[in-house]
Amino acid sequence: MKTRTLAIIAVSIGTFIYGVNYTIAKDVMPFYVKPFAFILLRVFGATVVFWFLGLFIKSQKIDKDDYKKIAFASFFGIALNMLSFFKGLSLTTPISASVVMVISPIMVLIFTAFLLKEKIIKRQIAGIFIGLIGAILLIVYGNSSEENASNRALGNFLVFVNATSYGLYMVLVKNIIHKYNPFVFIKWLYLFGLFFVLPFSISEFNDIQWATMPTNIYLKVGFVVVFTTCITYLFNLYGLSKLKPTTVSVFIYLQPVIATTYALISGSDSLNLIKILATSIIFFGVYLVTKQVKKSTK
């Protein structure tokens, strides 16, 4: 099987896990585990897993200058990304959160243009503004009286921060991951991330009532730690090592489809006109941003 095909399969699996994660994580937060405490569980669990697996991987020395780059990528890809996402998800609904996340490919294009010096054409600029209009529409007017969303506007805004942070992370790691084994890279990524999230999370972590937590909630926490954290980050890193950041970001389009289907089946969310309209606007903006330019032939 071709390397590109394997990379696409890996990113597709990661996208599916992210899609169902919206509802699974929402079932845990904020009643059983508060958002920041959940992030500490994720990052600590992943750090332990990857450093343990690193014992079976050939050791590889990290260049001194790359430690700073990995720490910088960890702040946006682990700390700010996860903290804003889980806090936002605890305040909004799974479908709204997954729709806002679709803005991430647009942010990837913007950061790619500034950091990797790739050219942006007028159609893509138009797509950026259209996509942002859709996101703002959902953030500002996506409010409802549903019990599942205590503060939808703030929640959607925090998910937007998450999408922006994750977009920057995808561009930042592109030039580093080629140099190192994925396990070597990701164990350092999570170790730095653990130090970043610890000050924000330790207080909420101490509030967790482990004795009263049902078995199914334990299983859902385990799913988020093992699959949403370890598997997806590893698969996406492999995808980024073989594909362009903009290509990997395109798979985020599938997240609202998966998240909506799973949320509707499980009864944790519902559709309304604002969600449908905002989704259509965002997808049109993303289409303009990512549409391939046909090369003319002589």
Contact 189, 74 (CB under 8 A): yes
Asked whether residue 126 is domain-assigned, the answer is yes
Domain membership of residue 112 as a residue range: 3-290
Contact 226, 85 (CB under 8 A): no
Asked whether residue 253 is domain-assigned, the answer is yes
Predicted confidence at residue 158, as pLDDT, reads: 92
Contact 140, 76 (CB under 8 A): no
Dihedral of alpha carbons 238, 164, 274, 282, sign: negative
Predicted confidence at residue 52, as pLDDT, reads: 92
Asked whether residue 79 is domain-assigned, the answer is yes
Predicted confidence at residue 289, as pLDDT, reads: 63
pLDDT tens digits, the chain, 298 residues: what are they?
A: 678 788 888 888 888 898 888 788 888 887 899 989 999 998 999 999 999 988 888 888 888 889 999 999 999 999 999 999 888 888 887 777 877 777 777 788 788 888 777 777 777 778 777 877 776 776 666 555 455 567 778 888 998 999 899 888 888 887 788 788 888 888 999 999 999 999 999 999 999 998 889 999 999 999 998 998 888 888 888 887 787 776 676 676 666 667 766 777 776 666 667 767 877 887 787 677 666 555 444 4
Predicted confidence at residue 148, as pLDDT, reads: 57
Predicted confidence at residue 145, as pLDDT, reads: 46
Predicted confidence at residue 172, as pLDDT, reads: 86
| Domain count across the chain | 1
Asked whether residue 295 is domain-assigned, the answer is no
Asked whether residue 220 is domain-assigned, the answer is yes
Contact 115, 69 (CB under 8 A): no
Asked whether residue 10 is domain-assigned, the answer is yes
Predicted confidence at residue 36, as pLDDT, reads: 92
Asked whether residue 189 is domain-assigned, the answer is yes
Q: Maximum CA pair distance of the chain?
A: 72
My answer on whether omega of the bond before 30 falls inside 30° of 0, hence cis, is yes
Distances (CA, A) of 12 to 34, 125, 146, 147: 29, 27, 31, 32
Asked whether residue 83 is domain-assigned, the answer is yes
Please give the angle made by the CA atoms of 201, 103 and 42, to the nearest 5 degrees: 25
Predicted confidence at residue 143, as pLDDT, reads: 52
Predicted confidence at residue 253, as pLDDT, reads: 65
